[in-house]
Amino acid sequence: MDQSFTKQKIKELRALVSEGDRVAIVLQDDPDPDAMSSAMALRTLLGRNKQTTPLFSFAPVTRPENRTMVHLLEIEILPASTEELTTFDMIAMVDVQPPYFGEKLPRADIVIDHHPGYEGPNAPFEDVRTKYGATATIMTEYLMTANERISERLATALLYGIRSDTLLLSRHVTEDDIQAFTHLYPLANYSMLKLIDRPELPVSFAQILSRAMKRLVIQDGLLVMNLGRVERDDLIVQMADFCLQFEGVEWVAVAGKLGSNLVISVRNYGVGRANAGAAVKSLFGEIGSAGGHRNMAKAVIPLRKWRAAHGTTRDAAIEALLWELFPIEIHRQPESEEARAARNGN
Ligand SMILES: [Mn+2]
């Protein structure tokens, strides 16, 4: 840990930001724990609060664990817009660099990150340490060097940030990451960390779960389930992950009504022709937003559009229709290289 370099950077940083400046901290889309905790640390380092230094992102947090972190640590992330960011005196970003945002970003003043592959500098203040496993490590070094008090909430966030970016200190980890981790360890709240790891389910979900489990059917490796109305988006996602664990299941499509939308979460094991993202795009791209990766994808369809396309939004009818649509789509998908090789015995 190079304290003299960090000391110099802190001086630079504090000289750049004037007392009355309104600072926006912009995070990558679907912010992760490293980004969120680093933003909290930057705010502390600058002696600011959420009124004078709000956090923004262009796309909200979606992963269940990350949403639990947001909820438990009361992290407020506002939806970003280029117009609104223009009204700020300073724009800072952590765990990401200006080229990521392209035209959407009006300006960049402060950049602290660990991602390689960007041509810099892109801002008057820049500290990019590509060897580090997490931006939260850089921020912990800043706080330690500045002798800032690290609250339990901040320590918990940073610890979780380092842990998740380095997969429990097993990937891209440096001596500095371990040093930061060790410093934060006694300051963090363990029951909170445990809760972030295992998101709580609302008790009312037990009823939905018991009804759904009774109807559980697997056909040709496919499991389709409509949960009906749910109170949270992540319940659909968690259910899809859970169902993928059953023996013989290769594809899962779990649907649920959330607000005025039908949300469909799709998972597969990525064998053969599987491409979850392509499947939801082809099935629902015209009546809703749909997309994702090979193994996980999601569609969000306004219920009124579903009704216009399929005549009804009754739960049983939705489930029946999904049972018709998915097998056709799965078999329609082009065969992958690996599957072809396996079939030909190469
Ligand atoms: Mn990171």
Report the CATH number that the domain containing residue 28 is assigned in CATH.
3.90.1640.10
Give the residue from 100, 102, 107, 103 showing the smallest Cα distance to 86: 107
Distance 170 CA to ligand 1 centre (A): 14
Phi, psi of 128, rounded to the nearest 5 degrees: -115, 115
Query: Is 53 in the same domain as 161?
Result: yes
Task: Tell me how far the alpha carbon of residue 2 lies from the centroid of ligand 1, in angstroms.
Answer: 20
Total structural domains within the chain: 2
Summary mean pLDDT of the chain: 90
Residues 148 and 45 sit within 8 Å (Cβ to Cβ) = yes
Distance 8 CA to ligand 1 centre (A): 23
What is the Å distance from ligand 1's center to 198 Cα?
21
Residues 58 and 102 in one domain: yes
Residues 218 and 329 occupy one common structural domain: yes
Contact 252, 221 (CB under 8 A): no
Residue that is written with structure tokens 């009504």 in the block: 257
pLDDT value at position 340? Answer: 60
Spacing, Cα 193 to ligand 1 middle (Å): 18
Task: Identify whether 245 is part of a domain.
Answer: yes
The CA distance from 35 to 53, in Å, is 15
Instruction: Check if the beta carbon of residue 46 is closer than 8 Å to that of residue 23.
Output: yes
Among 191, 189, 180, smallest CA distance to 141 is for: 180
The CATH number of residue 284's host domain is 3.10.310.30
How many whole angstroms from 161 Cα to the centroid of ligand 1? 8
Distance from Cα 39 to the centre of ligand 1, integer Å: 11
CA distances in angstroms from 12 to 52, 140, 239, listed in the order given? 20, 17, 48
Report the separation in Å between the CA atom of 321 and the middle of ligand 1, taken as the mean of its atom positions. 41
Q: List pLDDT tens digits, range 191-238.
A: 888 888 776 678 888 888 888 888 899 999 999 999 999 988 778 988
- Is residue 34 located within the same domain as residue 94? yes
Tokens of 246: 């059953």
| Residues 91-143 pLDDT 10s | 999 999 999 999 999 999 999 999 988 888 899 999 999 999 999 999 999 99
Q: If you measure from the C-alpha of residue 342 to the centroid of ligand 1, how many angstroms do you get, rounded to a whole number? A: 37
Residues 227 and 319 in one domain: yes
Question: How far is 327 from 319, CA to CA, in rounded Å?
Answer: 13
Domain range holding 302? Answer: 205-337
Of 162, 197, 232, the one marking the end of a domain is 197
